[in-house]
Amino acid sequence: MSDPPSGQPAPDAPTPAPEAAAPAPEAPPPARGGVLRNRALLAGIGGAALVGAVIGGLIVWALSDDGAGTSSAAGNPQAAGQVAMCAAAPVANQVLPSVVTISARRGGQAGSGSGQIIRDGGYILTNDHVISLAANGGSVSVLYSDGHSSDAEIIGRDPSTDLAMLKAADASKGYPVIAIGSSAALEVGDPVVALGAPLGLYSTVTSGIVSALDRYVPVPGDDVTHHLIGAIQTDASINPGNSGGALVDCSGRLVGVNSAIATVPNSAGVSGGGSVGLGFSIPVDLAMPIADKLIETGQAGHPTTGLQVQELPPEMARASGTEPGLFILAVEPGSPAVKAGLKPGDIITKIDDKPARSSEDIVVATLTRSAGDTLQITYLRSGQTATTTLTLAAA
């Protein structure tokens, strides 16, 4: 990834932005369904410079390297209860030929990350933050585990979920496609293996377990927040440069795309940027449908609500005698919001019975849904509470 702070290229070694001293780390979040929204600083593990502010004692990095469910014995022959860890050597032999190191360049800036071949024809899945540097007038190349390199082109990006698709110029070389597994089959404690190019050290393999499931991890990028939804948490060692690389089960099947790490800041609130056993991967069950759309159309095709909102924080809500939520600034003519009866001036307080506090709550609610799916919206109008059903439409 390329994760320069404030739009500037990041150095090879992470260079944190100045921060005030952070409080002591909080207790770990729950094993499932955790949200790191208020406890993590999120940046890239592709090349990684620190982005944002330290919140709650953890720092989350996107994993690029800038240079300027139920598991069963049938599905996983080395499932938890049979062995503590995967036999990494056969997994590495099987998977590494499908894993690539990605270099992105524009002008004097450069960054690197990882990816994997998911379809014949040289189609490579990676993180958006790995290649964002090259998205406007830059260049991308890939390095295979046998030392061969090739130019590649960006054929689709989805910054919201931090996914992107490349197509290698040497598609005729016939490198193997990685086997696709299922993230829904994972259980906490299942062994996994991570493969990629941390700090530019290509064909690196580490092993660990699934530490938690269903994390929500927002990762600030240069000009957009990446949303890791239902993320897999792992203690397999991943570091800057692992971004976009593979997290696989003991059968060598892709179960996640490594995307971010959390680190504990020092007394000055600064992180060293290395792995402390808190890594996060995009689940393959979310990634593959988006990857297919990026290959077919170049776009992820997330649906729209037609809403333009502004956060109404608790302090402002108290001052105005209302509830905190999302103040509707405007609705697009003919949009799902209009058809649901929502109007400017309404205050959205819940989305699908969950409190609405951030404008990103609406974005997150659409990322795992398709046109035709519905959201239950609870809102305030003239002091009265009402609920409506909003049917999402194609953007």
Domains detected in the chain:
1-299 (2.40.10.120), 307-391 (2.30.42.10)
Residue 37 buriedness (CB in 10 A; 0-12 / 13-18 / 19+): middle
Confidence bin at 263 (pLDDT 50/70/90): confident
Distances (CA, A) of 116 to 208, 221, 260: 20, 22, 17
Contact 358, 312 (CB under 8 A): no
Q: What is the DSSP letter of 207?
A: E
Q: Which helix (H) or strand (E) holds 270?
A: none
Quick one: pLDDT band at residue 79, thresholds 50, 70, 90?
A: very low
Residue 93: which pLDDT band, with cuts at 50, 70 and 90?
very high
pTM: 0.76
Token code pair at residue 104: 């992105």
pLDDT digits (tens, 9 = 90+) for 374-391: 999 999 999 899 999 999
Catalytic residue selected from 3, 65, 103, 129: 129
Catalytic residue among 237, 243, 259, 335: 243
Six-digit token string for 307: 């809403």
**Known catalytic residue: 129?**
yes
Burial class from Cβ neighbours inside 10 Å (0-12, 13-18, 19+) for residue 84 reads: exposed
Residue 18's pLDDT band (boundaries 50, 70, 90)? very low
Distances (CA, A) of 277 to 27, 74, 158: 15, 28, 27
225-234 and 40-42 strand pairing: unpaired
More confident residue, 106 or 275: 106
pLDDT in tens, 175-207: 999 999 999 999 999 999 999 988 888 889 999
Question: In this structure, which amino acid lies at residue 246?
Answer: A
Distance, in Å, from the CA atom of 159 to the CA atom of 179, rounded to the nearest integer, reads: 25
Question: CA 175 to CA 115: how far, in whole Å?
Answer: 13
Catalytic residue among 3, 66, 162, 249: 162
Position 372: which residue type? G
Which residues are registered as beta bridge partners of 82?
Answer: none
d(CA 255, CA 387): 37
Q: What is the pLDDT of residues 49-73, one digit of tens each?
A: 222 222 234 566 676 666 433 233 3
- 377's CB contacts (< 8 A; 6+ apart) are 340, 342, 348, 350, 351, 387, 388, 389, 390
What pLDDT is attached to residue 5? 33
